[in-house]
Structure 1
Amino acid sequence: MKRFAVIVGLLVLIVALPIVMRRENAPVSPDRADDRISILSPHNETIRVEFGRAFAAWWKQRTGRTIYVDWRTPGGTSEIAMVLDAGFKAAKETGREGVGVDVFFGGGQPDFSRQAKEGRLVPLDVFKEHPEWFGEGRVVPSSWTGETYFPADHTWVGCCLSQFGIAANPDVLARLKAPVPARWDDLGDPRFAGAVALADPTKSGSVARAFELLVQEQIQRELKDASVPREHAIAAGWDKGLQLILRMSANARYFTDSASKIPHDVGQGDAAAGMCIDFYGRSYHEELLRADGSSRVEWRAPEGGATYSPDPVAVLKGAPHPEIAQAFVTFCLSAEGQRLWFGAPGSPGGPQERALHRLPIRGDVYSPEILATATIRRNPYTDPGVFTYDRELTGKAFNTLRQFVRIACIDSHPELQRAWKAMAAAGFPPEAMAAFSDVSAFPYATFGKGHPVLDGGDPLASADLASALGERFRANFRRAEALSRSSATPAARQP
């Protein structure tokens, strides 16, 4: 009987121990927590879990109190912007100061700049608490690769870095006999027809920035020719950027609302390549590793076509728990918060369960000792393969460019693809290519500094202009298709 009791006890222990451990590591429930914080974020579940758990431990160590982290995830930054717009409008009408949320965490710098411009963010205490962290020659520079890492009014601050690049499937590329994409231009190669995965820039500020960088790269190339007047070079580069977007979009299988769908479909072989943010590409590369060390997903930054953009954090005006919100920002910039971004799971200071595959913003964490246990063993501050973003060239056209993609590429995708297919069958006749590439309806002189109607507050006027522009582009595509069919051989004219 004693032996039986021991065996039963051991079995109970084996069953109960994982449950007990899971409860010890699980977030405290909202009704039992001493404190709470609400965070509005587009970050994925892995980041939310690891940062929520680590901040709770950090808070408990410093205050002796438990905390419940209430994550609010309405979607990407575009959806978050709509939530904030509606919330602050309602707050103003009812005399409230805030929207019942403490922190805005993650997204593109333009999204945070816009919220700051609207007066919805408050100055961050971390700049007063740790002035030694910020500024040129310090661990968080004010800017790098032309990207602003914190503004002069200190209403937001970057806490990690992102790069947009290209995820590709080597097996599909071999089948298509297509080269490994090394530059943005490569995604416009006709060999990628129907095999490129793209995301909708109107749904994501980060994706919109990738399209902006693509256009600016073309402009900067043109500016290298000193014999061409600056204004002519800028206009020519703008046109070439828009034309590249048309070719990429003609190759696109779809425009997804979910950026994580792109590396997933690339890994499954449903797409050969696609525009992909670095941490999604690296995550799928790791998940799809083969025994020989190769992977079904390879990610790379485009040569000379990517900057290091910040993913910021900010405290919202009228935050219900302002002191805790400010502490969360301090945690994100602390050594503990920074090491979470690229530490290997289980490594000192790293995440517990899954790697985040992100680059910290603090330069001092790229020490040899820390890099030895990091999932990304590269220092962005010594990377020679990036270019310097010039906000004056395209910064004001950020929203205008995302509207161009919607109007000329997403809403017109059937006509765009039919023209591309007909042109390919006919060997890309010059007259058809000229019609297809006609972007004269969207010149830099009119749209390069933003457009008051297309980006304006009158939705009806904006819709009317978008409709007119869309018809211009669709007419171009129909003309390109007709010219291709008329110049093709009889065999090539068959549908």
Structure 2
Amino acid sequence: MKRIGIILGLLVFIVALPIVLRRDTQPVSPERADDRISILTPHNETIRREFGQAFTTWWKARTGRTIYVDWRNPGGTSEIALVLDAGYKAAKETGREGIGVDVFFGGGQPDFARQAKEGRLVPLDVFKRHPEWFGEGKAVPPTWTGESYFPPDLVWVGACLSQFGIAWNPDVIARLKVSAPTRWDDLGDPRLAGAVALADPSKSGSVARSFELLVQEQMQRAIKDASLPKDRAAAIGWDNGLKLILRMSANARYFTDSASKIPRDVGQGDAALGTCIDFYGWSYHDEMLRPDGTSRVEWRAPEGGATYSADPVGVLKGAPHPEIAQAFVEFCLSVEGQRLWFGKPGTPGGPVERALNRIPIRGDVYTPEFLGKATVRLNPYRDTGAFTYDRELTGKAFNTLRQFVRIACIDSHDEMQRAWKDMAAAGFPEEAMKVFLDVSAFPYAEFGKGHPVLDGGDPLAAADFAANLGARFRANYKQAGAIARQATRITAR
């Protein structure tokens, strides 16, 4: 009986142990926490969980107090912008300063620049507390590859870096007899009709930036190669970029607002290739590894077509817990916070459960010691093949270009695909292609610095203007399809 009692006791202990340990590692409940912080973010659940756990540990070690991290995740940065717009409008009407949220964490530099312009971000204390971290030749430079990593007024700072690139399924592209993609141009190959997965730039600032970089890469190429005045060459490159977007979109199966859908579909063979951000490409590469070491998902940044852009963090104006909010920013920029981005799960300083596969912004963490325990082996500050962004060329057209994709490609996708199918059946007649790729309605001289109506403050005028543009593109697609069908009939005779 004694032996049975011991055995039963051990069984009870084994069953209870995971429960006890889970209680110890779970974030403290809001009712029992000494402190609280609310964070508005587009980051996925893995990043939220790992940063939430790491910050609670960091905060307890520094202050001896427990803290509850209240994550607010309404969607992508477009949804977050709507939340901030509505919240601060209501706050202004009621005489309040803030919206009950402390921190804005994650997204693209354009998203933070817009919030800063609206006066919704406050100066960050981390620049005063740790001036040795920031500046030319220091851990966080002000710019790299033409991208800003913190602004002159110091109201936001990059927490990590990212590149937008191309994910592909080696088996599927082999069946289609297409080479592995190396440049943005490869997404416009007509052999990929119906096999390309694209993201909706109207739903994500980082996606919108990828379309801008695609256009600017064409512009810089034209400026470099052409023996023409810079403005003329830039206009030619702008047209080439828009035409590439049309060809890519004609190949597209869909435009999604789900960041993880594209690499997942690529891995499952539902798409041959598609655009996605680096950490989703790397994560799905690892998730879909086969026993022989190959993967159903490969990812790369396009040659000469991707920068290292910052994913910033900032403290919102009127934050209910400003000191804690400033401390969270400091944690994100500390070595502890930076190692979390690229550490292997279970290693000292790394994430607990899953790899984040992100690129730290601090150059001083790319040491042999840390890289030996990292999932990301590249050093962005030693990448000589990176693209250098020129804000003067397309910076003011950021929103204009995302509108172009919506008007000419997303809203008109059915007409576009029907025409593309007819043109493929006819062997892509030159005259049909000329009409299909007519972007004269969107010239650089008028749209390259932003458009006063399309980007203006009158939504009704913008909608009417967009509708007229959309009608022109749909008419082009219908005409191109008719030319192709006529060519097919002539050939059949």
Q: Which bin holds the TM-score, normalised by the shorter protein?
A: over 0.9
| Contact 1:158–1:313 (CA under 8 A) maintained in structure 2 | yes
Instruction: Within 5 Å, give how 1:26-175 maps onto structure 2.
Output: 26-175=26-175
| Contact 2:226–2:233 (CA under 8 A) maintained in structure 1 | no
Instruction: Within 5 Å, give how 1:299-338 maps onto structure 2.
Output: 299-338=299-338
3-state secondary structure, aligned to 1:320: coil
What residue ranges of structure 2 are gaps of 5+ in the alignment? none
TM-score (norm 2): 0.99
Q: Distance in 1 between matches of 2:385 and 2:199?
A: 24
What amino acid does structure 1 have at the position aligned with 2:340?
L
What amino acid does structure 1 have at the position aligned with 2:454?
L
Q: Distance in 1 between matches of 2:19 and 2:173?
A: 46
Q: Distance in 2 between matches of 1:5 and 1:457?
A: 76
TM-score (norm 1): 0.99
Give 4+ residue runs of structure 1 displaced > 2 Å after superposition: 489-493
Alignment pair present for 1:446 and 2:443 = no
User: In the alignment, what sits opposite 1:350?
Assistant: 350
How far residue 385 of structure 1 moved from its aligned partner, in angstroms, is 1.6
What amino acid does structure 1 have at the position aligned with 2:439?
V
What amino acid does structure 2 have at the position aligned with 1:8?
L
Instruction: Within 5 Å, give how 1:48-447 maps onto structure 2.
Output: 48-225=48-225, 227-447=227-447
| Contact 2:41–2:105 (CA under 8 A) maintained in structure 1 | yes
How far residue 491 of structure 1 moved from its aligned partner, in angstroms, is 7.7
How far residue 178 of structure 1 moved from its aligned partner, in angstroms, is 1.1
3-state secondary structure, aligned to 1:36: strand
What amino acid does structure 1 have at the position aligned with 2:363?
G
What amino acid does structure 1 have at the position aligned with 2:205?
G
How far residue 238 of structure 1 moved from its aligned partner, in angstroms, is 0.3
3-state secondary structure, aligned to 1:406: helix
Q: Distance in 2 between matches of 1:21 and 1:228?
A: 69
How far residue 225 of structure 1 moved from its aligned partner, in angstroms, is 2.7
Q: Distance in 2 between matches of 1:184 and 1:460?
A: 34
1:84-106, Cα deviation, whole Å (9 max, x unpaired): 00000000000000000000000
What amino acid does structure 1 have at the position aligned with 2:344?
A
Output the aligned Cα RMSD: 0.9
What amino acid does structure 2 have at the position aligned with 1:64?
G
Q: Distance in 1 between matches of 2:296 and 2:383?
A: 26
Q: Distance in 2 between matches of 1:25 and 1:444?
A: 55
How far residue 227 of structure 1 moved from its aligned partner, in angstroms, is 1.6
Q: Distance in 1 between matches of 2:128 and 2:107?
A: 24
Q: Distance in 1 between matches of 2:141 and 2:291?
A: 41
What residue ranges of structure 1 are gaps of 5+ in the alignment? none
How far residue 347 of structure 1 moved from its aligned partner, in angstroms, is 1.1
3-state secondary structure, aligned to 2:414: helix
User: In the alignment, what sits opposite 1:471?
Assistant: 471
1:72-128, Cα deviation, whole Å (9 max, x unpaired): 000000000000000000000000000000000000000000000000000000000
3-state secondary structure, aligned to 2:154: coil
3-state secondary structure, aligned to 1:488: helix
